[in-house]
Amino acid sequence: MEDRLFRNAMGKFATGVTVITTNVNGKIHGMTANAFMSISLNPKLVVISIGEKASMLKHVQQSGTFTVNFLSAQQQELSMLFAGQIKEERHVTFGDLQGAPTIEGAIAQVSCEVASAYIEGDHTLFIGRVKNIHLEDGEPLLFFNGRYGALSSETPVQI
Ligand code: FAD
Ligand code: NAD
């Protein structure tokens, strides 16, 4: 099967956008990721998936911790920055959640300790035990079909 067919298909699954942050010996690193899932309520576990070529893989292996920051609709530029799509260096001021680095203004910040890791194909799945959570008001940044978007207030969900 062609890679493009697989990516086009996976791109039809609309997601939010996160930036994974971690602190390695006092240096903070960030990476854009949409492979995120909530796993378990008791205990509270989440999972992220990091590609074998991403520098973030060794950073999380080294630190044993990561924070998942759900970006707001206003943070597309940060998503592009942490995906390597903006070439020039930018200074980012990170927040702090009881010692864990965060993206300020993210609508949810979920700090985790790595509970376990599984290499599957060309990615590593990190199961995170949730330590702390900070929430802020705001709308999410969305990713669909390789494009960014936002919820439309003109089409409210009917339940
Ligand atoms: P680098 O290339 O070292 O860093 C990425 C960028 O972040 C660099 O341009 C750097 O300037 C910037 N940066 C990092 N730290 C800082 C800092 N402290 N201050 C300022 N800038 C900083 N890949 C996955 O493995 N899993 C996913 O789930 C995933 N989902 C994605 C979802 C979307 C919507 C997009 C667009 C990309 C996704 N990617 C995912 C791809 C991933 O974001 C890129 O491959 C990324 O470039 C890999 O980064 P890296 O860890 O190699 O770090
Ligand atoms: P795209 O068409 O490459 O991605 C669409 C969907 O395909 C993504 O949402 C993801 O579900 C899947 N996908 C893409 N690359 C993948 C990979 N290497 N491993 C597993 N699943 C993958 O969208 P785009 O706008 O061209 O993406 C921008 C860049 O970000 C590309 O280089 C892409 O490879 C990368 N990306 C990687 C992942 C990931 O590693 N999980 C996820 C999203 C995007």
**Structural domains in the chain, sorted by start:** 3-148 (2.30.110.10)
The interface pTM score, or ipTM, of the predicted complex is 0.95
Kindly give the distance from the C-alpha atom of residue 133 to the centroid of ligand 2, in angstroms, as a whole number: 27
Nearest CA to ligand 2 atom 27: 146
What's the rounded mean pLDDT across residues 78-90? 95
- Whole-number Å distance between alpha carbons of 94 and 120: 31
Ligand 1, atom 1, lies closest to the CA of 55
Q: Tell me the C-alpha distance between 4 and 118, whole Å.
A: 25
Residues lining ligand 1, judged by CB closer than 6 Å? Answer: 17, 28-35, 49-51, 54-56, 81-84, 90, 92, 143
Quick one: average pLDDT of 81-96?
95
What is the atom index within ligand 1 of the atom nearest the CA of 143?
Answer: 34
Q: Answer for the pair 61, 117: CB distance below 8 angstroms, yes or no.
A: yes
pLDDT > 90? residue 153: no
Q: What is the pLDDT of residues 14-37, one digit of tens each?
A: 999 999 999 999 999 999 999 999
pLDDT at residue number 70: 98
Is residue 51 within 8 Å of 32, Cβ to Cβ?
no
- Cβ burial of 70 (10 Å; 0-12, 13-18, 19+) is buried
Closest ligand relative to 11 C-alpha: 2
